Amino acid sequence: MPTADLTLPADIGPTVERALAEDVGDGDRNAALVDEGLRASASVIVRENAILAGSPWFEQVFAALDSSVSVEWAYSDGQRIRSNTPICHVEGPVRALLTGERTALNFLQLLSGVASSTFDFVERVKGTNTQIIDTRKTLPGLRSAQRYAVRCGGGINHRFGLFDAILIKENHILAAGSIGTAVQRARETAEGLFVQVEIETLEELEQALEAGIDGVLLDNLPSHVLARAVNMADAHRRRFRRDIVIEASGDINLRNVREIADTGVDRISIGGLTKHIKATDFSMRMKTR
């Protein structure tokens, strides 16, 4: 079972508010078809095996619509859920349940899909020392939610954005003139931040190691070259007693992720965790009183 840090992001409320505003607009004309005082209960059922994620967003949707809605969970985020299993029970005014149903399920299906995909990759590299991490390739406005879902699936998070770590990519190197110059400027302008360089050849790796970086991102290198890169980095670690994070990325899938992990890289970053999303199928079935 995933044991990642499931600390909740601080922007759940605003994220839910935007989602409800998008769907409800100036009023739910559909819910108005139902008597205002009517109450109901409902069960949410998962239609496929998955890892649950998104329950705080689900709850916040109904809390924002009517504080009298109650939600009782049979499972917690990060747990495996089996097909055709009820995962929670919701009770409250029918209008609130109808208005919030789609938005609440949208969060649940999206985030459980991310968690489930992450879990599959984590399972493939089990037994190695390699960690599965996400990238900045997230849905606009949902980055913190998707990063939470990655943690639910047992993965870890890369930098949040452009402000909390430095990743020197090909265009940065081209604009700066060299890897060494780019690293030097990073140290001068962002003291204390983690500095990582994306490299595509072993020659570039040598330059990055000489520049004194904190980590390297080995992009689209075949496994035999990755193994050589890991050996080079390990030798540099021993010689200078300096920790260096070795990360692989580029065209990673469930078929090749284990082979890449077996090269000894510390991390494998996969943009598909948060951009190639297969939503988990949930449904909500209501019973009126």
The CATH class of 123-275 is alpha beta
Residues tagged active-site? 102, 137, 169, 198, 219
Quick one: what percent of the chain has pLDDT higher than 90?
93
Confidence class of residue 1 from pLDDT cuts 50, 70 and 90? very low
pLDDT score recorded for residue 242: 87
Cβ contact 279:142 at 8 Å: no
Q: At what angle do helices 202-210 and 179-189 cross, to 10 degrees?
A: 40
Calculate ∠ Cα 108-109-112, nearest 5°. 75
Calculate ∠ Cα 261-142-48, nearest 5°. 65
pLDDT score recorded for residue 18: 98
**Neighbour order of strands in the sheet with 70-73:** 70-73, 85-93, 39-46, 282-288
Q: Would you list the domain boundaries of the chain? A: 12-117+277-288, 123-275
* Assigned CATH topology for domain 12-117+277-288: Aldehyde Oxidoreductase; domain 3 (3.90.1170)
Note the pLDDT tens digit of each residue in 197-244: 999 999 999 999 999 999 999 999 999 999 999 999 999 989 988 899
- Residue tagged 């919701």 (tokens): 90
Put simply, whether the predicted model's pTM sits higher than 0.85 gets the answer yes
Rounded to an integer, what distance in angstroms lies between the CA atom of residue 159 and that of residue 139? 16
Confidence class of residue 112 from pLDDT cuts 50, 70 and 90? very high
Note the pLDDT tens digit of each residue in 20-75: 999 999 999 999 899 988 999 999 999 999 999 999 999 999 999 999 999 999 99
State CA 182 to chain mean position distance: 29
**75: DSSP letter:** S
Fold match, 12-117+277-288 / 123-275: no
